[in-house]
Structures are given as structure tokens and as C-alpha cells.
Homo-oligomer: A and B are copies of this chain.
Amino acid sequence: MTNLITIEQKILKKNSDLAEENRREIERRGLLAIGLLSAPGSGKTSLLERTLRALTGVLRAVVIEGDVQTDRDAQRIASLDVPVVQIVTNGTCHLEARMVQEALVQLPAQDLDLLFIENVGNLVCPSSYELGEHLRVVVLSVTEGEDKPLKYPALFRKADVLVINKIDLLPHLEYDLVQTRGFALQVNPKLTMFEVSCATGAGLGAWTRYLEDRVAAHRVPRLAAT
């Protein structure tokens, strides 16, 4: 068992080192990188579609898609004329920095503002693997129940933002949004929270304004340095 833990620690250390390399490459290209995480079917790709449409003409975005199998999500993004690289993990339950490193070299060379990295749908395993992202955004759907931040705390603890999705379904559910917010803040008091519906578009204005502000803030030190 000790051997196994040592091997896991080595893997995570190597992953962190590669994530640091990724971050330097991402910053060299002037990008703000956002990791998107959630359970399967919480709406990461739908949020991405809505966000990319809203940001057209405002910010230039690019996407790295992570899936266990299929390039279905990459096809959805490509249909919006947004550059996208699909990573198929072939059974692996999370993205790793080395996969993102390989995807980064396939991104177009043009000037870009935002990189979204959509992880495999999984509330457990991705939490240990840094990818080089600047912000971690967890998407939680109201159909999943209130208690997920308590039951899967590691991912919520390492997140910067919580997007609560599918609020259009609230009238049809017994669901306590206040309790969810409370559970999330209990695990991570620093979370920035948004409530949205990717079906109706409700709440997405605040979320995209937040992204615009973060890109602007990310640019300041770069401009100051030149």
C-alpha cells in the first residue's frame, strides 16, 4: 500500500509540473484558461455553447474537450465556428496535464483571449489533477439534489466558481436552492456562485460579464509589463 501511495504521489507531482508548463505556455499566448468540471450531464457543454454564442465578437475563445469516448462534444463546439481540440481519454476518468499539453500545440496560432478546458464528467477524480487552468468552474444541475457539495467535497473545495444550472426546472422539483448555496459555502466559503438556465438563457448575463471582467483583469499585468 505504501508503494502505491508513493507512485500516486509521483504521478501527481509530475502532473503538477506539467500543469505549470501548460500555464506558462497558456500565459505566453495571452490566454485566460478556465477548467469546466461537473458530473455527467450537468450541462458543461450546453453552458459552453451558450457562453461562446454570447461572447461572439466580444472575446475570442478556444476549447479543449475531454471525454472518455466520442467526439460528440467537439462537434457541438465546432458547429459554432470555435476552434476546438478533442481529447478522448479512452477509459481514463479525468484529464491530465500531459493530455492538455498535447492539445495545446494543436490550437490555432491566432490571437485569442479565453481557453475553456472541459473535463470528463466526474465529480471525484479530476479534483487531484491540475491542468494549468487559472480558474476552476464547477457546474451543478438542480436535478442532482442539494447535497452534492457535501458528498463530493474535494472538487468543490478546489473550485473558484459554482454555476448552478437548469434553474428553469425548479418549478417542477422539490429543490432548495438556499440549502445548496449553504452546503457549497460550508465546503468552500470563497466560491463565486451563479444560477443559470442553459435552456432559457436565464442568468447567463451575469456569468458572461464575470468572464469578461476576469479576462480584463488577467490582461492588466501583461499590459503593465510591456
Please give the residue numbers on chain A whose beta carbons come within 8 Å of chain B beta carbons, in ascending order.
Answer: 4, 7, 11, 39-42, 67-70, 72, 91, 93, 120-125, 141, 143-145, 147-148, 150-154, 166, 168-169, 172-174, 199
Contact = CB atoms under 8 A, between A and B. Distances in A.
A143 B121 contact: no
B148 A93 contact: no
Contacts of A124: 68, 91, 93, 120, 122, 125
A68 B122 contact: no
A54 to B, nearest CB: 20
Nearest to A120: B124
A39 B143 CA distance: 12
A207 B153 CA distance: 33
Contacts of A151: 40, 67-70, 72, 121
The oligomer's copy count stands at 2
B41 A144 contact: yes
* Residue from A7, A125, A152, A174 with most neighbouring chain B CB atoms (10 Å): A152
A18 to B, nearest CB: 15
Nearest to A89: B124
A195 to B, nearest CB: 16
A218 to B, nearest CB: 31
A40 B144 contact: yes
Nearest to A125: B93
A141 B72 CA distance: 19
Contact of A148 (B40, B147, B168, B174): B40
Given A4-B11, A68-B154, 15 more contacts: A39-B39, A39-B40, A39-B41, A40-B151, A41-B144, A69-B151, A70-B147, A72-B151, A121-B123, A124-B125, A125-B125, A141-B143, A143-B166, A168-B172, A169-B172
